[in-house]
Structure formats: C-alpha cells, structure tokens
Amino acid sequence: MPRRSDGPHGTAKDRALRLLAVRWRSRAELDQRLRRAGFPDDEVAVALADLEQSGLIDDQRFAQAVVADRAGRRLSGDREIRNVLRQQGVSEELSSAAIAEAGDEAERALALARKRAFRLRDLDPATAFRRLHGLLLRRGFGPSVAREACRAALAEVIAEVAGADEELTQS
C-alpha cells in the first residue's frame, strides 16, 4: 500500500508492536494511538486483529496487570483502578472481574494509612486525620473505607507515641 510522504512511517502493526514493547496496552488504547498517528482505518483493524489473534493484545491480561500494579504497588482504591481501566478502554465486565481479584479494599486502605500515618505523628490528631483521609480519597477509596482506615492507623500511631513517651518518662 503506497504511503504519502507526510503520513506515518512503517506499518500499523510495526507501530503497535513498538508500543507493546514498552508495556501492555488495551485494544482501545492501541486503536486510538494508531489512528492518531495517521494510519488508515482498514490497516489499523487488520493489525489489531493479527495482534489479538497472536495473543499480544488481551484486554483481560491488561486489566489484571493494571490491577496488580495499582492495588499491589500503589495501594489504590477500587474507584481509581476502575477509572484507569475505563480511560484505557477496558470493558466494565473485564474491569469488575480484575478488580474482584485485587483483594479487600479495606485492607489496602489500612495498609496505606499505616504506611503514611507514622509520618503524621507530630501533627495534632485532627490535622493528621484530615491529611490522611484526603490521601485515601485521592487514591480512590470510598469515604467510609477511608475514614475507618484513618481511625485505625492513627489510633495505632498515637498509642505507639504515647507508649514511647511513657517509657522515656519512666527511665
């Protein structure tokens, strides 16, 4: 297929393979990137079909990778994960299935709250709660989940600080 000199270089399949070499991508994301690069619709459709048939495009695998990263490494809430998957063009059905495998959202919220609460130990409790609660909300946790995680994590930190102060005064 002849190309104009101002069009994209190479084939749509080659461009898609280069994009996939960086990280897994959803079918919708590849479709959008290839069309934006100027490849004709029919060439994009053929390239995506070939890559899907060979197993290089798999929205289920992509969703599982995103969930593993967001829930495991970043400790994000279900809302943020669902939003990221929606932006990448993953269906609601695949998103829900992948998020269900992420584990308990309340446990992730508590883990993140514990991780960050120690840094806030020198602040007054109301300020520490407000900051920690805001972080959890920004990470995609629901208000009630965030509130409970904040309460539990800050209670642990306050007890630790009070215990350490008590030990110092007794010495």
**Are 141 and 77 in contact, with CB atoms under 8 Å apart?**
yes
- Residue 112 CB partners (closer than 8 Å, separation 6+): 75, 135, 136, 139, 149
> How many C-alpha atoms does 164 have within 13 Å on its Cβ side?
7
Q: Which pLDDT score, from 0 to 100, does residue 162 have?
A: 60
Q: Domain for residue 5, yes or no?
A: no
Is 6 within the bounds of a domain? Answer: no
Same domain, 151 and 118: yes
Give me the pLDDT at residue 52, please. 94
> Is 22 domain-assigned?
yes
**Does residue 3 sit within a domain?**
no
Q: pLDDT at position 163, please?
A: 56
Q: Please check whether residues 132 and 89 belong to one and the same domain.
A: no
What 3-state class would DSSP assign to 159?
helix
Q: Looking at residues 123-142, what average pLDDT do you find?
A: 94
Percent of the chain clearing pLDDT 70 (strictly above) = 89
51 token code pair: 């890559």
* Domain residue limits at 46: 12-53
Window from 1-10, 28-37, 137-146, 150-159 with minimum mean pLDDT: 1-10
* 0.85 surpassed by pTM: no
Helix (H) or strand (E) holding 99: helix 92-100
Domain annotation covers residue 148: yes
pLDDT tens figures, 50-90: 999 999 999 999 999 999 999 999 999 999 999 999 999 99
Q: With a cut of 80, say whether residue 150 has pLDDT above it.
A: yes
* pLDDT of residue 167 exceeding 70: no
pLDDT tens per residue, range 20-38: 999 999 999 999 999 999 9
Instruction: For the chain, give the mean pLDDT.
Output: 90
Share of the chain above pLDDT 90, in %: 78
d(CA 171, CA 169): 6
Indicate the number of domains in the chain: 3
**113 and 160 within one domain:** yes
How confident is the model at residue 1, as a pLDDT?
47
